[in-house]
Structure 1
Amino acid sequence: MVFSFILSPVAYGAKCCIRNLTFTLALPFSVAGAAYAEPVTIFALGDSLTAGYGLPDGEGLVPQLNLWLAEQGADVTVLNGGVSGDTSAGGLSRLAWSLTPEVDAMIVTLGGNDLLRGLQPSVTRANIEGILTEAQVRQLPVLLIGMEAPGNFGPAYKEAFDQLYPELAAQYGAQHIGSYFGLIDPDATDPGQISEFMQADGIHPNAAGVKRAVESLGPQILTLVDHLD
């Protein structure tokens, strides 16, 4: 399935293709706590998609995800580490002081603004690798949520960018989701099919879109927690 977008200099450059979305986490899960009895804190490192750009308090990704987890009876708290407009370099630069002692695991959703700036995939790869290396040193499990490049950068660019996420996830043992936007509707073949779940800018999900993303993401968080020692 292919979403074709042309990037323009707007608040967030994540108009991207949703193609060949694969979830590597489609395993049965149990309520968090079956394998990890203590309260769990997860740090969500990201950009405007994580921060909840354009949404009222309580309707962004992290608040809705925390509500979903509480409804499952999971003793899990997700901390909002989203900064609108942040690149992978920005995420890496603030990671060390963001990972406070209570953090047990991470969600990483970065790369859309790298696409906006036309950064080379090798630059994004190096930054994401730096984030995963820091997590590995601290023995923090990671759920890496990918982005996909639009076709207007050319096939070589797209292939290099799209592949950096699954390749790094495999290299560092991170759990991986192919595309954030695929969380909203993995079966969509045209951007118009998810327009009702997007804000007027066509870039950021509205509250209903975030709710759909959370319903897909939540079980993956429980799997992440179950892998804690």
Structure 2
Amino acid sequence: MKLMRFLSLAIVAVLLVSCNKQGVTNKPLTTEIDSVSYAIGMDVAKNVKNSFDEFDTELFIQGFMNVTDSTDMQIDATQAQQLIRTYFQKKQQEELAKRQEKAKQNKEEGEKFLAENKAKDGVVTTESGLQYIVLKEGTGATPTTTDRVKVHYHGTLIDGTVFDSSVDKGTPAEFGVTQVIKGWTEGLQLMKEGAKYKFFVPSDIAYGANPRPGGKIEPNATLIFDVELLEILE
């Protein structure tokens, strides 16, 4: 655990004890330092909530005060550091195991979905495993890897969860044909201007095991896109 986050936890724990004894005061924010102090408190609380599922505030305060007073310490400093290090290493290993299990589950669910989807009317499967349905055929030119395109898209997980949508945003997206996931690069080159396709993208030609952090797309997720090729840009 980073030092600043641990110090933040200490501050919050002390404040929690103080608040429990005296009650929370609603001091007005009248100066810059007042506002900064309040903002730091908000940030610290957020970090603590994100870092711990369980925590004994009383024992934390006991250890904090014992070191401050240099009295009645039940473990020495070296042992304390080892306990902290071991605890967080164990938590990291547990979180990694959970992510790996979830990635395995997503992979299996995606493969099952694609196997069933493959047999549906209108679904075409390419050599890479990309599946698509022609919703509306276009009449214009077909993009190549050197082109930029303007598209509207609506992306969901296989359970229907929307993770991104230019349609919802109300603004088409513009990008190079090779600046997107492999499934899109392949799929766009099957389309003509004016066409609208539905892509079913296996994880290995989507974001694989390493999607963008913090988003709705989990490792090894199969993705679905409605894609309308509006224009090939010069």
TM-score normalised by the shorter chain: which range applies?
A: under 0.3
Q: Give 1 or 2 for the bigger CA radius of gyration.
A: 2
For CA contacts below 8 A with separation 6 or more, give which structure has more relative contact order. 1
Q: Structure 2-normalised TM-score?
A: 0.21
Higher strand share: 2
